[in-house]
Amino acid sequence: MRIARNFLGWVVPILIALVLVLLVRTYLFEIVKVSGGSMEPNLADQERMVVVKPLKIKRLSVIVFDAYGEDPNAQPGTNYVKRVIGLPGDQIASRNGNLYVNGHKLNQSFIDQSERAGGTGNWTLASLAQRHHWSTTTSVVPANHYFVLGDHRSVSEDGRAWGYVNANKVMGVVKVPFWQGTATHRENINSLANQKGQVQASFSWQGAAS
């Protein structure tokens, strides 16, 4: 009996710790590592970040999601990190380096003018759907889905090519720890989705597609 009690005395705490770790990783947060340069200059290749799972996804949130089944080129177990540009019901257009959401210009202060103009292209959701033969051809982001882009538009494989991210595939919202990166980069990842006034001047939808 004494041996059994001693055995349980160290096994039970280990089991409890393992269960707590599993619960935290499943429902609260997880630490993951960036692979690739699609979120530069705000997230660097191999940079570690925290994925917070209970947070509400907003426009300009940076998220991690299971890319398998979303991007046809993604292998099982592949996760992508991208920025949410369109919420369900949003109309999105790109013209001359500017993004427009529901007819209003999106504040893209998280990348500079050359980065905005280099690689984003001119399109609407409808023109992208036609060009890439998406199964969903509506001109707005479907219910329970998000439209995402990488910050480094010229290298990012994102919603412009394969469409929308199902909400069920989202792991959580990215946050950069306070000791990591610069204050600007942390703000561009952690805070933009919570700031008001993310749209600017209105825009005519005519001629937005290419």
Q: Which residues are catalytic?
A: 38, 82
Could you give the CA distance from residue 66 to residue 95 in angstroms, rounded to a whole number?
Answer: 29
CB atoms within 10 A of CB 134: 17
Residue whose C-alpha is closest to residue 167's, from 56, 71, 93, 72: 56
Q: What is the DSSP letter of 24?
A: H
Could you give the CA distance from residue 29 to residue 172 in angstroms, rounded to a whole number?
Answer: 8
Buried b vs exposed e over 165-184: b needs ≥16 C-beta within 10 Å? beeebbbbbbbbeeeebeee
Residue 39 and residue 152 in contact, taking contact as beta carbons nearer than 8 Å: yes
Buried b vs exposed e over 139-150: b needs ≥16 C-beta within 10 Å? ebbeeebbbbbb
Contacts of 66 (CB under 8 A, 6+ apart): 78, 79, 169, 171
Q: Give the bridge partners for 48, in sequence order.
A: 33
